[in-house]
Amino acid sequence: MIKVTIWNEFRHEKKHDIVKHLYPDGMHTVIARGLAGDKDLQIRTATLDEPEHGLTEAVLADTDVLTWWGHVAHGEVRDEVVQRVQKRVLEGMGLIVLHSGHFSKIFKSLMGTNCSLKWREVAEKERIWTIEPSHPIAAGIPESFELPNAEMYGERFDIPTPDKLVFLSWFQGGEVFRSGCCWERGQGRIFYFRPGHETYPIFYNPTIIKIIGNAIHWAVPRIQKEDVCPNAKSLEVIPPRKVDYSFVPEAIRKNIPTA
Amino acid sequence: MIKVTIWNEFRHEKKHDIVKHLYPDGMHTVIARGLAGDKDLQIRTATLDEPEHGLTEAVLADTDVLTWWGHVAHGEVRDEVVQRVQKRVLEGMGLIVLHSGHFSKIFKSLMGTNCSLKWREVAEKERIWTIEPSHPIAAGIPESFELPNAEMYGERFDIPTPDKLVFLSWFQGGEVFRSGCCWERGQGRIFYFRPGHETYPIFYNPTIIKIIGNAIHWAVPRIQKEDVCPNAKSLEVIPPRKVDYSFVPEAIRKNIPTA
Amino acid sequence: MIKVTIWNEFRHEKKHDIVKHLYPDGMHTVIARGLAGDKDLQIRTATLDEPEHGLTEAVLADTDVLTWWGHVAHGEVRDEVVQRVQKRVLEGMGLIVLHSGHFSKIFKSLMGTNCSLKWREVAEKERIWTIEPSHPIAAGIPESFELPNAEMYGERFDIPTPDKLVFLSWFQGGEVFRSGCCWERGQGRIFYFRPGHETYPIFYNPTIIKIIGNAIHWAVPRIQKEDVCPNAKSLEVIPPRKVDYSFVPEAIRKNIPTA
Amino acid sequence: MIKVTIWNEFRHEKKHDIVKHLYPDGMHTVIARGLAGDKDLQIRTATLDEPEHGLTEAVLADTDVLTWWGHVAHGEVRDEVVQRVQKRVLEGMGLIVLHSGHFSKIFKSLMGTNCSLKWREVAEKERIWTIEPSHPIAAGIPESFELPNAEMYGERFDIPTPDKLVFLSWFQGGEVFRSGCCWERGQGRIFYFRPGHETYPIFYNPTIIKIIGNAIHWAVPRIQKEDVCPNAKSLEVIPPRKVDYSFVPEAIRKNIPTA
């Protein structure tokens, strides 16, 4: 059983008219319902306005894979919670970052880069190409598929070179984008997936849900390992050694007590 | 002319007896003197206890490559300065992180990982192997060379897989370590170099200085680029498009004003 | 059920006195027996002196993962069989290359490099470090383990930078080596594993067998895909286009019938 | 001075009407003329129908960077010459593979994969995006630029994951492609660049020539190194060691003379 926490900022759905009607219970609920058919998953949701953003130590300790959607309120996510999530990813927890989550504190902290990109919102067509058909996240996904309406994200996407680039996007307006990117950090796996704009019905699309489900299975912790930085005994016998100061200029060497 | 800033925590040299005698003017001074013969370099130094740690906006704007040595006082480096350095690296400035700098805020911020490792201090022998002889940082460096006395750093080193692994270390006590690691982040280049323990005369060793010099040349900014996340006009004509709601359940779709 | 073919050159075992006594039925038989406890595996063996080296089209079509040990007779492996194996790897079959297989035609063909290294045979100690503990090939393997006697292989190992470096070796005589290396080529996965010298009882060591078993599980085909290079219809409407010759010098342009 | 050899199959230019008029002296001549303004380059050309395809040992020994264009006659390139080129690349020579050279013997030998792709020839528009603006091959190249007419190459391109992906293409018909890919193999650098179809005036385009020129500068040998696989003396003293047979079953161990 894979324990999944679907995290959502859940603000657009309360404030913007179209989003409110499109996702009356929030995008997290639609994602959770979409994945409900996968009997390997045990799903909970969490949102920004819950205490500790719904991501207490207890919740994270009980999460194998966390998915993240945020946009207008990245700055309201408390640093302490971000550090808690990062610690868990480095210990082994999987993380799936969706769409505008590219600018979330947690993604930027794990990447170390600006994670910036180009964007445009005119409901244009996006075609997503599977360039690594044998990758588990692409299992059952066609060679290419279309989203009839998408916010455009264009290169240059300021990320570290992905360990594996699974999906590439073509946009009607002329841009391209690295849309499905895998990294490993510490013991954890991270997948960034581009689609997911709040004003279009992206999370009702079964191909999108299938990819998120595949990514969850891929990101399951292989091990759980706490960070340590130990003083280690030698495995081989090391006879006592005198320090060699031969490169040190005489004027300095003569003052070193141990020289 | 490459503008280099040699940064040093400069605390051990004031407090610990052996270090005080070994590096009376600080390790930064010995590194700077070691590099003085390279007429392509214009070198300044900066230390923790200077105002803004010697890393003002003006100094960083005038720096092509920054080298970093820190150990006991990582926590005293102000977050604001760390962010300033990170911003400059992502814009193109090179960064050379030395030895115990693996645990510095700036290195951890750029890597996104814990950067932990194993360690032991018994003056044991280290042998460094050049595994990418054609890499510019290895230019003129022999296939292998020895440090007669070193603090041991052992795997697992918790870093993102390096873009290029240039040096590997063998330790007398039985460990191995990825000792020379290259990454690119944003527009900048980062090199981590393992040797540099304060109680041994590492920075008097001409092979070590040669590697640091090579790394400085390698890390020179190729471009300087400010971070942007622009709203981009389309390059192709996009006829007005209506949003396709066909995947949205009827019960929800009927309430969407634009559907 | 994973179909495994253990391939062995099987020459040393017939000719060299110690090897004959150590592996009277061949190293392939000892590996196969070592893996026999894994009920997910259906194991066959194949050797150089069988017709078509035991690697007929039918055998390969019925193989999920192939392991390869060769040394003195790399040159006797027929090019036609090498191409057949390479084709299958690119279609999805896993390949585990052991020890002196680094110089096999199949490994060199897949890597594109010389695959050369340093070597020495004095029964010295090797210590293998697990640097990616969360990698499936490292499952259940300790942080480090020793082989009391090994042929030394030292860097520089002339390979493409591995996608993932799982094991690093330390040798008593002073060398280091990238001992467990993963690559993906086409749809297939490749693992190179250093240990396996014929004059030492390496394949009787349960840790070595466990790693080979883990690697077999990791290398199982995710998909099977024949190579194609198709002429593709466009997915978007492309109005008829006239070729733009504006960069061509007038003297040439005037002679082009379509200009 | 960088010694460059521009290699061209030079068959289309003799046989196909449009190509004959577009490149009356061959594409190699147009490339060479395009690069003539770069005073760091000393350029020669070589073609398939010359003795040894113009790539004698002497020519290759005197070449720093080789560029390769081939298409209809890949099969006519002699294996002996391919091996000679591969040996030189692994020793340090740079190689720039253009367009339909993706299916050349030399590129496939160095990649180890099928190097297949999708294609279509309808003179459609291609837009090339620079995704690594700080890479030397992108120096002076705009964020994106258009080729008004191109043969389409689409993903999946069956190559090893590039070390660095510099350019991505968008096609009018709906495809995307990894158009500028860097690898290092042995001591040599390899750049694959997608544009270059013989029936369109691609090599008259100054941006294309600038990229080829940048790639030549990037691919200059850093070192020249012959392949060796030496028996190496130990660097540390290894006392005589007895082989440990403790894992070998008693029934076998009792017959081993040295046990």
pLDDT tens column, C109-165: 999 999 999 999 999 999 999 999 999 999 999 999 999 999 999 999 999 999 999
Rounded to a whole number of angstroms, the distance from the CA of B173 to the nearest CA of chain C is: 10
The single-letter code of the amino acid at A252 is I
- CB-based contact C134 A163, cutoff 8 Å: no
Distance between CA A193 and CA A209 in Å, rounded?
Answer: 11
Phi, psi (rounded to 5 degrees) for C102: -55, -25
Q: Tell me how close the Cα of B155 comes to any Cα of chain C, in angstroms.
A: 6
Cβ proximity of B70 and B48 under 8 Å: yes
The minimum CA-CA distance between C72 and chain A, rounded to whole Å, is 34
Q: What is the pLDDT of residue A259?
A: 82
In this prediction, residue A213 carries a pLDDT of: 98
Contact between D165 and A161 using a beta-carbon 8 Å cutoff: yes
From the list B198, B185, B212, the residue with the least C-alpha distance to B89 is: B185
Backbone φ/ψ region at B241: left (φ over 0), alpha (ψ -120 to 50), beta:
beta
What is the SS3 assignment for B71? coil
pLDDT of residue D216: 98
Structure-token pair, residue D216: 């030549």
Query: Which residue, chain included where needed, has tokens 């150089």?
Result: C48
Which of D60, D58, D73 shows the shortest CA–CA distance to D4? D60
Name the minimum distance, in Å, from the CA of D190 to any CA of chain A.
18
Residue among D178, C101, B229 at smallest CA distance from A74: B229
% of chain A exceeding 90 in pLDDT: 99
How far is A101 from chain B, CA to nearest CA, in Å? 14
- The two structure tokens encoding residue C2: 């994973």
Q: Is residue C105 part of a domain?
A: yes
- The whole-number average pLDDT for the span D1-24 is 96
Mutate to test the interface with C, among A93, A130, A134, A168 (most CBs of C within 10 A): A134
8 Å CB contact of D156 and A127: no
Look at residue D252 and tell me if it is in a domain.
no
* Model confidence pLDDT, tens digit, residues C10-27: 999 999 999 999 999 999
The Cα of A54 is separated from the nearest Cα of chain B by a number of Å equal to 23
Residue A65: strand, helix, or coil? strand
Give pLDDT, residue B259. Answer: 83
Residues of B in contact with A122 (CB under 8 A): 234, 238, 241
Residue D83 has φ and ψ, to the nearest 5°, of -65, -35
Q: Is C193 on the interface with D (CB under 8 A)?
A: no
Which residue among D125, D186, D232 places its CB closest to the CB of C120? D232
For residue C53, tell me if it sits in a domain.
yes
Other chains touching C, judged by 3 or more CB pairs under 8 Å: A, B, D
DSSP state of A130: E
Q: Taking residues B193-213, what's their average pLDDT?
A: 98
In chain B, what is the straight-line distance between the N-terminal and C-terminal CA atoms, in Å? 62
Q: How far is CA A167 from CA A178, B24, B49, D132, in A?
A: 6, 56, 48, 18
Which residues of chain A lie closer than 8 angstroms to C221, CB-CB? Answer: 134
pLDDT band at A257 (very low <50, low <70, confident <90, very high): confident
Nearest C-alpha of chain B: how many angstroms from C222?
24
Q: Tell me the two tokens of residue D42.
A: 């000393």
Q: Inter-chain contact D205–C247, Cβ cutoff 8 Å?
A: yes
Write the pLDDT tens digit of every residue in C78-97: 999 999 999 999 999 999 99
D226 inside domain: no
Chain C CB within 8 Å of residue B164 CB: yes
Q: What is the pLDDT of residue C15?
A: 94
* pLDDT confidence of residue A258: 81
Residue A199 has pLDDT above 90, yes or no: yes
Backbone angles phi, psi at B47, to 5 degrees: -135, 160
Q: Report the amino acid identity of residue B229.
A: C
Closest CA relative to residue D211, chosen from D1, D38, D25? D38
Helix axes C27-35, C206-219, angle to 10 degrees: 80
Rounded-to-integer distance, Cα A188 and Cα A221, Å: 7
Which residue, chain included where needed, has tokens 């993963």?
A: C182
Residue D240 β-bridge partners: none
Between CA D5 and CA D31 the distance in angstroms is 11
Whether B107 contacts B159, CB under 8 Å: no
Determine how β-strand B94-98 pairs with β-strand B65-69.
parallel
Domain coverage including residue D197: 2-219
Residue C188: burial class (beta carbons within 10 Å; 0-12, 13-18, 19+):
buried
pLDDT at C167: 98
Chain C environment of A144 (Cβ under 8 Å): 235
Residue A101 has pLDDT above 90, yes or no: yes
User: Residue D73 pLDDT > 90, yes or no?
Assistant: yes
Using DSSP's 3-state secondary structure scheme, residue D46 falls into strand
How far apart (Å, rounded) are the C-alpha atoms in residues A195 and A169? Answer: 10
Phi and psi at residue C154, to the nearest 5°: -120, 160
HSE-CB for D84 with a 13 A CA cutoff: 17
Give yes or no for residue B194 having a pLDDT over 90.
yes
Q: Helices marked H in chain D — which ranges? A: 12-15, 17-22, 27-35, 57-61, 79-91, 105-111, 206-219, 250-253
pTM as predicted: 0.97
**HSE on the CB side for B34, CA within 13 Å?**
25
Q: What's the whole-number mean pLDDT along residues A9-18?
A: 96
Residue in D with minimal Cα distance to C230: D118
Contact residues, chain C, for B127 at CB < 8 Å? 174
Within 8 A of C170 by CB-CB distance, chain B residues are 170-171, 174-176
Are D134 and B163 a contacting pair at CB < 8 A?
no
Query: Is the CB of C178 less than 8 angstroms away from the CB of B132?
Result: no
pLDDT exceeds 90 at position B63: yes
Tell me the chain D residues in contact with residue B92 when contact means C-beta distances shorter than 8 Å.
134
Identify the helix (H) or strand (E) that includes residue C18.
helix C17-22
DSSP class of residue A254 equals: T
Query: Distance from B28 to chain A by nearest Cα, in Å?
Result: 15
CA distance D152 to D157: 12
Residue from A125, A197, A145 nearest B238 by CA: A125
Reduce the DSSP state of residue C134 to 3 states and report it: coil
From CA B64, how far away is CA C93, in angstroms rounded?
Answer: 48
Q: What was the pLDDT predicted at D192?
A: 98
Reduced to 3 states (helix: H, G, I; strand: E, B; else coil), residue C8 is: strand
Closest residue in chain D to residue A146, using alpha carbons only: D174
Contact D235 B133 (CB under 8 A): no
In whole angstroms, give the CA distance from residue B26 to residue B9.
9
Mean pLDDT of A25-52: 98
CA separation for the pair D257, B220 (Å, rounded):
61
A235–C contact, CB cutoff 8 A:
yes
Q: Are strands C144-154 and B65-69 parallel, antiparallel or unpaired?
A: unpaired
Interface test with B, best of D130, D134, D237 (most B CBs within 10 A): D134
Backbone angles phi, psi at B41, to 5 degrees: -105, 140
A·B CB contacts under 8 A: 189
Per DSSP, the residues of C34-90 read HHTT-TTEEEEEEETTSGGGG--HHHHHT-SEEEEE-STTGGGS-HHHHHHHHHHHH
Is the Cβ pair D156, A132 closer than 8 Å?
A: yes
Q: Are D153 and D167 in contact (CB under 8 A)?
A: no
* Chain D positions in Cβ-Cβ contact with residue B134 (cut-off 8 Å): 92, 184, 187, 221-223, 225
Residue B218 is classified by DSSP as H
Q: Write the residue in A160, A173, A228 that is nearest to B160 by C-beta.
A: A160
The answer to whether position D132 is within a domain reads yes
CA distance B5 to chain A (A): 22
Share of chain B above pLDDT 70, in %: 100
Mean pLDDT taken over chain D: 97
What is the ipTM for the molecules in this complex? 0.97
**Cβ–Cβ below 8 Å for B168 and C156:** no
In a domain, D251, yes or no: no
CATH code at position D63: 3.40.50.880
Cβ atoms D108, D75 nearer than 8 A: no
Residue that the structure tokens 């720096």 belong to: B63
Q: Is residue A201 part of a domain?
A: yes
Choose, out of A86, A102, A204, A226, the residue to mutate when testing the contact with B (most B CBs < 10 Å): A204
What sign does the CA torsion over A100, A104, A110, A116 have? positive
- pLDDT, residue D258, reads 81
Chain A segment 18-57 residues within 8 A of D by beta carbon are none
The total number of structural domains in chain B stands at 1
Chain A residues in contact with B185 by the CB 8 A cut-off are 112-113, 160
Q: Are B222 and D134 in contact (CB under 8 A)?
A: yes
The pLDDT tens digits of the residues spanning B90-145 come to 999 999 999 999 999 999 999 999 999 999 999 999 999 999 999 999 999 999 99
Which residues on chain C are in Cβ contact (under 8 Å) with B176? Answer: 129, 168-170, 176
- Alpha-carbon distance of A96 to A190, in angstroms, equals 6
HSE on the CB side for A156, CA within 13 Å? 26
State the alpha helices, DSSP H only, in chain B. 12-15, 17-22, 27-35, 57-61, 79-91, 105-111, 206-219, 250-253
Size of interface B-D (CB pairs under 8 A): 33
D87 within a domain of the structure (yes/no): yes
Mutate to test the interface with B, among A114, A227, A235, A258 (most CBs of B within 10 A): A114
Give me the mean pLDDT over the B212-236 stretch: 96
Confidence of residue B56 (pLDDT cuts 50, 70, 90): very high
Q: Do C144 and A235 touch (CB under 8 A)?
A: yes
Query: pLDDT, tens digit, for every residue of C188-207?
Result: 999 999 999 999 999 999 99
- Whether the CB of C125 is below 8 Å from some CB of chain B: the reply is no
Q: Which of B135, B136, B223 sits opposite D133 (nearest CB)?
A: B223
Q: A106-143, pLDDT tens digit by residue?
A: 999 999 999 999 999 999 999 999 999 999 999 999 99
Q: What are phi and psi of C125, to 5 degrees?
A: -80, 140
Rounded Cα–Cα distance for residues C253 and D15 (Å): 18
Rounded to whole angstroms, the Cα distance separating C203 from C195 reads: 9
Say if residue C259's pLDDT is above 90: no
- Contacting chains of B (3 CB pairs or more, <8 Å) are A, C, D
Given its phi and psi angles, is residue B38 left (phi above 0), alpha (psi -120 to 50 degrees) or beta? Answer: beta
Q: Who among C134, C136, C222 is closest to A134 (CB)?
A: C222
